[in-house]
Amino acid sequence: MIKGLLSFTGRYRVLHLTWFAFFLTFVCWFNFSPFATTIAAELNLTPAQVKIVGICNLALTIPARIIIGMILDRFGPRLTFASLLCFAVIPCMATALAQDFNALVFSRLLMSLVGAGFVVGIRMVSEWFPASEIGFAEGIYGGWGNFGAFGANFALPLIAAAVTGFGMAGSMSWRVVMVATGVLTGLYGLLYARSVDDTPPGKEFKRPKRAGSLEVTSVSGFWALMVSNIGLILALGLLDWRLLTAKFLNPVSFGAIAVGLLALYGYQSYQAWEVNRELLGGMRKYDPKERYQFSQVALLEMTYVVNFGAELTAISILPSFLEETFGLSKVFAGMVAASYSFLNLVSRPAGGLLSDRWATRRLVMTLITFGTGISYLILQGVDDTWQLPVAIGTILLAGAFAQAGNGACFAMVPLIKKEVTGQIAGNVGAYGNFGGVVYLMVYSLTDAHTLFATMGIAALVCSSLCAVFLKEPNPELAHH
């Protein structure tokens, strides 16, 4: 398969076109991060407001990944991804036109929807690659797509500097970059729609029998789904509270949103009951070959919290952390922070490849998550007394484990049940953003050292749970 990556035909062509689509969504999603200090100075934002904008950049990705998962399982990944790429133009333009904190919050909430793009490619790649290669293929897709964060942190400041060098006012350069990323992504969306198919020739695209919620195969799975949905609503509630404390929302608006979130949970619960009512009423029994355990979905959600949630948080805070800790320039800090994302080219595919090649995917997931925990506990000790190369090495170690954990996680997700892969990927992916929101909430209330310690401890707890409860996926379910 590694040799096939050099070609641009058949399934490899679809893989390359799809990871680049994901790459562009990440460039857009993180195009605020490298300009955070510049924008804060220009718009007179407080440090607390900058942190809140960072949280908003992740917030709506949580429900969006679930919704996008349902949409793509019904309409297919080609149209879903193309539509999302075209939508990215809107939040990019809104950010470019922002003149104050409120406008930034609005634009980055819209941008957080673009972060749902990851889920789409998971289903697309799973349609084109067999179970024996799925970990590596999904790792290439996720790792090379996540490389878009490197593109944002490394390339966008250089482009802004070049724009300024051509005579444009420095205060306008970041706005031009925002517009350019949106336009490029929208144009690629049109190209993507014309260039790929949902499945290989002769293969049927399997859709869930019912839309609206995830179909489970046991009563206990239904109740586990209800609990899982609470966590995602809770993350949005935390954001609601944080916007209240930042005085972006008044008490009336805060209360209205809280009621809306409760109503959303009620609607989710009703839809889940509607989709699964025959099972709950005892009118339907699933053949053993069709059953999957939702507890395994929940464990993968937890691994994505501590691995991808940690990665999202690091990408968001590393430029400013390095600036403030070591007194680096904005451009150099962005380049150093980008090296964390650069690792995705290797680390995430490596996690998927290990999962494919080792005798047990469970052990790979357990050991890599353990490594994430230890490395972030080491990272929490970084301060201005450290030598910069040592600090960078520690950051890269933490990034390598977290990204490999993401690859190992999504080597298992497509093997749970084929026709609901989009929805399962949406749930797991949403929990990655849940982790990002919670971790950034911790950061907004404390400091980077407390944040890194929190991420390390959470990963060690998750690793222990995987060691005891995670089971090997059944490859046969990937085809049912």
Give the rounded distance of the alpha carbon of 69 from its chain centre: 13
* pLDDT of 480: 44
Percent of the chain with pLDDT over 70: 96
Res 110: pLDDT: 94
User: Residue 409 is encoded by which pair of tokens?
Assistant: 């996680």
Per-residue pLDDT at 474 exceeds 80: no
Say what the pTM is.
0.82
Dihedral over Cα of 42, 395, 108, 47: its sign: negative
> pLDDT tens, 337-357?
778 878 888 999 999 999 998
> Residue 472 has what pLDDT?
86
Q: The domain 3-198+214-479: what is its CATH number? A: 1.20.1250.20
What was the pLDDT predicted at 225?
Answer: 92
Q: What is the dihedral angle through the alpha carbons of 371, 376, 381, 385, rounded to the nearest 10 degrees? A: 90
Q: What is the pLDDT of residues 165-200, one digit of tens each?
A: 766 666 788 999 999 999 999 999 999 999 999 999
For residue 475, what pLDDT is reported?
59
Q: How confident is the model at residue 49 (pLDDT cuts 50, 70, 90)?
A: confident
Residue 230 has pLDDT above 50, yes or no: yes
Domain chopping of the chain, boundaries: 3-198+214-479
As a whole number, the mean pLDDT across the chain is: 88
Our CA angle for 258, 437, 115, nearest 5°, is 100
**Average pLDDT for 25-31:** 91
State percent of the chain over pLDDT 90: 49
Q: For position 3, what pLDDT does the model report? A: 67
What is residue 476's predicted lDDT score, i.e. its pLDDT?
A: 56
Let me know: does 303 contact 409? Beta carbons within 8 Å. yes
Confidence of residue 479 (pLDDT cuts 50, 70, 90): very low
Residue 202 to residues 199, 231, 480: CA-CA distances in angstroms?
8, 40, 17
Average pLDDT over residues 111-125: 91
Report d(CA 422, CA 219) in Å as an integer.
21
Determine the pLDDT at residue 298.
93
C-alpha 446: how far from chain center: 23
The answer, yes or no, to whether residue 464 has pLDDT greater than 50, is yes
| CB-based contact 272:225 (threshold 8 Å) | yes
Residue 315 sits at the vertex; the CA angle it makes with 386 and 38, to the nearest 5 degrees, is 90
- Mean per-residue pLDDT, 150-161: 84
